[in-house]
Structure 1
Amino acid sequence: MQNPKIHKKILFNQNIAPSQILKALAGFPHAVYLQNSGQPLIAFLADEYFVLISQQLTHYSKTGLQAYAAEEAEHLPELGSGLPAGNCSGRFQGGFVGFISYDYGASQQISLQQKNQPSLFLGRFSTYLEWTEAGWMLHCPAEDFAEIEALLRSSMQNLNHAESFRLIAPCTARWPKAQYAAAFQQVQEYIKAGDCYQINLTQEFCAPAHGALLDTAEQFWRLTDAPYSGYLRIDDFELLSCSPELFIDFEAERKIVTKPIKGTMPRFSDPVSDEQSKRALQQSEKDQAENVMIVDLLRNDLSVYAETGSVKTPKLFAIESFNQVHHMVSEVTATLKDDVNPFEMLLSALPGGSITGAPKIRAMQIIDELEGAPRGAYCGSMGYFNHDGTGSWNILIRSIQKYQDEVSLWAGGGITIASDCDAEYQECFDKVSAMLNLLNTWRQPED
């Protein structure tokens, strides 16, 4: 589908934080922000959108500036066929933006529990704000431009800066350590029995909460400084991403890139200790073994859709350092076959191998059995597609989800036969403790 005639105009200063604009959009039906590895965008007032909740897909078609008509839908939208080679900008230029949950991705391959909240949002957007060096630029259909510009300026001028978000109780682990240890031991038994080689075992941290999770966003983004962070709101569901992990970049000339993370060590304020931690990860045979298992899994996944001989591994066991942790990151590239639709490829490739295990289908079955609660959006993906098939999608780790009055975040790691239970349990906290501590500063004071 071709975009309508689009007008562009700088509306806001470049120093205005994304969270301020998102707060100004609080009265709008939905909003999505993607940090997009240094090229931020905020999409709103979709031309149409799809929401999946409780296995019911609903299509919303635009009937007015902020009005939509809803009807049941049988299929997700089609990205299109006969796609061109793709632009080289690496930027969103109008198309689809949204998220796909772990629950939805896994449900395409196995039967599993699903969280009672939206499990997919996908909107087709021609209206969005793009961050540029000159400021936030509005892209909008020409016929709606004046009205949307006036609405945005009014919303920013009348912005309510009061914060409403509060935890009713501390956000704590749903599992005591003994329960984690029991699940860990069961994974070891499955590995010994030959069911699997690796399982990404994760645990949930949850709390009751009131108000808008968006209130916390700017502090979380500053804390993590993650390249694939973002935010999505639809009705009473909010998703706050602080993700460091790319799932798939869909680049020009049908090139695809995936960068699985496997292997984690904590950061330290002392430079000597920090360098020792980084070097320990770099030299860890266990982490290299985990990483290469997932690289092999992803190479196999991509080969189904890739031109013969195009699957390459240009980076193996590279160390990338983030605010709280060092990660071991590899890179796999390929070229999509001419008859492969990028959107269909994304849906069939989810969930990502780095957050399931190997072999993938049996790993997802074991995860559903042992974790005891559905993951929801966690370990799903958030991103965009241009109409030409280029785009970028993350892995939703280090992410917080809020539905109605419950907030949750998750953390975990890959378990192999060489794993140590205490070390794996500690790795969960290495990944999430800074976020958990920050979240708990919003604890409602007792009377």
Structure 2
Amino acid sequence: MSYFKQKLNTEPTSAFDLLSQLYDLTGLVYLHDQNFPVIAFLPKKFLVFQQSILQQFHQTTFNQYQLHPKATTVTEFSNFDQTTPSAQQNVVFDGGYIGFFSYDYSANQHVNISSHPQPSFFLGQYSTFLRFQDNAWYFHSREENAQAIYAFISDLIAQPTSKNLSALTLLEASHPRWSKQQYLNAFQHVQEYIKAGDCYQINLTQEFKATAQGSLLNSAQALWQLTHAPYAGYLKINDFELLSCSPELFIEFQNNRKIKTRPIKGTMPRFNDPQQDQRSKEKLSRSEKDQAENVMIVDLLRNDLSVYAETGSVTTTKLFEIESFNQVHHMVSEITATLKEEINPMQMLLSALPGGSITGAPKIRAMQIIEELEGAPRGAYCGSLGYFNFDGTGRWNILIRSIQKYQTELSMWAGGGITIASDAEAEYQECFDKISAMLNLLNTWQKTDL
């Protein structure tokens, strides 16, 4: 199969500008991918799962798709060739499968929970994409008509503005669905379950919602500049948009079947005053409560990985590291392993979802309690957005600090791990520490009466 690569005839420009110009292309998706940005579009085929219906579409002509009479399973859809080592030194997208799996879809593999009416997962096979490298955007394609696609894309990008990117307008300020008392009641129920021995930790989250018109993409550049998130991204499927500002890696699939996960558990706010900020960081580093939370999730993920890993290969390489992001400090650990030769990477990813850092322990019981207490489906939040190359390497995030918009419903969520040592007031405040800056920025798009 031929491979066409060509530098775009444009000055280095932002991912937002390019996404705005390419907005009408089917399967438009962006991954910041830990400073290896990629924009993909026009998948050869894709799967979409919505309201319990799985559909598969195949490209017929440029930007035109036809429903396939019989959809395949996700693992059948993703065909890997792991016999040929990647020529890339780092894990970067080089053609393969990009998509997202919602928390709802992932949890429903294990327990019965309600699902959001928006798409529950999307997975596309991409042979055409843009990648930022050497301070420029390059067009890559394995398509037979790659040069014609390149010419079309170049013409689109040369246009001054997108005609179809409507301004985002919130018809009301984004607000919590729960009152503080409702959160405290749910917190108390979690404590009762812990005392009864049902669980050790529950990741209790609450929704912030608004009614909105226009494109969520319009807010992307400002939110990405605010957060500088290593696993930021964007995905658009018809009237559904997903905007990620996630700091958390779920699983990285490396060469030679090596895998790595970096769970986040433990948070303290950032401060403008350097001394106060350093004290906050040190407080997190010394926190026995946060270390206890973190090690519970490390143990859970070690168990998840061991099912598909070579015996003896699961290793905790880093424990209780402190990483600083724009709004918060986080406690992060790292676990590595080697997949068994016969394991399909997609099979392993789906089995490990949803991530332990956003469920609790033990995982099955934690998801049942979450379904009982939270009162609304999470949708994409706490799912995963990412990719696999055709050789089985890839990188998938945890969809925290993420906004989803379906039709006119816009929402984002925040929460934290509750243990027997948790303080209700502190946990409630932690929700706001994590997303208040994003909420405040989002609310600047609120409609005002002049």
The TM tier, using the shorter chain, reads: over 0.9
For residues 112 and 302 of structure 1, the distance between their equivalents in structure 2, rounded to whole angstroms, comes to 24
State the shift of 1:83 in Å: 2.3
Matching residue of 2:258: 255
- Cα separation, partners in 2 of 1:376 and 1:80, compared to 1, 3 Å: same
State the shift of 1:55 in Å: 1.1
Matching residue of 1:228: 231
> Does the Cα contact within 8 Å between 2:183 and 2:428 map onto a contact in 1?
yes
Matching residue of 1:143: 144
Higher mean Cα deviation, 143-152 or 108-117?
143-152
Matching residue of 2:374: 371
For residues 357 and 84 of structure 1, the distance between their equivalents in structure 2, rounded to whole angstroms, comes to 36
- 3-state SS in 1 of match to 2:277: helix
Higher mean Cα deviation, 312-321 or 65-74?
65-74
- 3-state SS in 2 of match to 1:240: strand
Matching residue of 1:28: 25
For residues 235 and 23 of structure 1, the distance between their equivalents in structure 2, rounded to whole angstroms, comes to 15
Note if 1:391 corresponds to 2:394: yes
> Does the Cα contact within 8 Å between 1:221 and 1:229 map onto a contact in 2?
yes
Unaligned runs of 5+ in 1: none
TM, length-normalised to structure 1: 0.97
Task: For residues 157-207 of structure 1, give each alpha carbon's deviation from its aligned partner in whole angstroms, at most 9, with x where no partner exists.
Answer: 334357511001000000000000010000000001100000000000000
For residues 185 and 12 of structure 2, the distance between their equivalents in structure 1, rounded to whole angstroms, comes to 49
Note if 1:57 corresponds to 2:54: yes
> Does the Cα contact within 8 Å between 2:81 and 2:392 map onto a contact in 1?
no
- 3-state SS in 1 of match to 2:112: coil
> Does the Cα contact within 8 Å between 1:115 and 1:376 map onto a contact in 2?
yes
Query: What does 1:346-361 align with in structure 2 at a 5 Å threshold?
Result: 346-361=349-364
- 3-state SS in 2 of match to 1:63: strand
Matching residue of 1:304: 307
> Does the Cα contact within 8 Å between 1:12 and 1:135 map onto a contact in 2?
no
Matching residue of 2:195: 192
> Does the Cα contact within 8 Å between 2:81 and 2:390 map onto a contact in 1?
no
- Cα separation, partners in 2 of 1:303 and 1:82, compared to 1, 3 Å: same
For residues 81 and 148 of structure 1, the distance between their equivalents in structure 2, rounded to whole angstroms, comes to 25
Note if 1:106 corresponds to 2:68: no
State the shift of 1:155 in Å: 1.6
Matched AA of 2:115:
Q
Matching residue of 1:79: 78
Task: For residues 351-404 of structure 1, give each alpha carbon's deviation from its aligned partner in whole angstroms, at most 9, with x where no partner exists.
Answer: 000000000000000001100000000000000101111000000000000010
Matching residue of 1:219: 222
For residues 89 and 421 of structure 1, the distance between their equivalents in structure 2, rounded to whole angstroms, comes to 42
For residues 316 and 366 of structure 2, the distance between their equivalents in structure 1, rounded to whole angstroms, comes to 24
- Give me the identity figure in percent: 58
> Does the Cα contact within 8 Å between 1:173 and 1:205 map onto a contact in 2?
yes
For residues 38 and 131 of structure 2, the distance between their equivalents in structure 1, rounded to whole angstroms, comes to 4
State the shift of 1:292 in Å: 0.2
- 3-state SS in 1 of match to 2:58: strand
State the shift of 1:12 in Å: 4.5
Higher mean Cα deviation, 335-344 or 161-170?
161-170
Note if 1:118 corresponds to 2:111: no
- 3-state SS in 2 of match to 1:38: coil
> Does the Cα contact within 8 Å between 2:246 and 2:399 map onto a contact in 1?
yes
State the shift of 1:217 in Å: 0.3
For residues 82 and 165 of structure 1, the distance between their equivalents in structure 2, rounded to whole angstroms, comes to 42
Query: What does 1:260-339 align with in structure 2 at a 5 Å threshold?
Result: 260-339=263-342
Matched AA of 1:84:
T
Matching residue of 2:97: 96
Matched AA of 2:73:
H
Matched AA of 1:75:
T
Size of the alignment, in residue pairs? 444
Unaligned runs of 5+ in 2: none
For residues 130 and 82 of structure 1, the distance between their equivalents in structure 2, rounded to whole angstroms, comes to 22
State the shift of 1:154 in Å: 2.1
Matching residue of 1:182: 185
Matching residue of 2:12: 15
Higher mean Cα deviation, 14-23 or 379-388?
14-23
Matched AA of 2:387:
Y
> Does the Cα contact within 8 Å between 2:99 and 2:122 map onto a contact in 1?
yes
TM, length-normalised to structure 2: 0.96
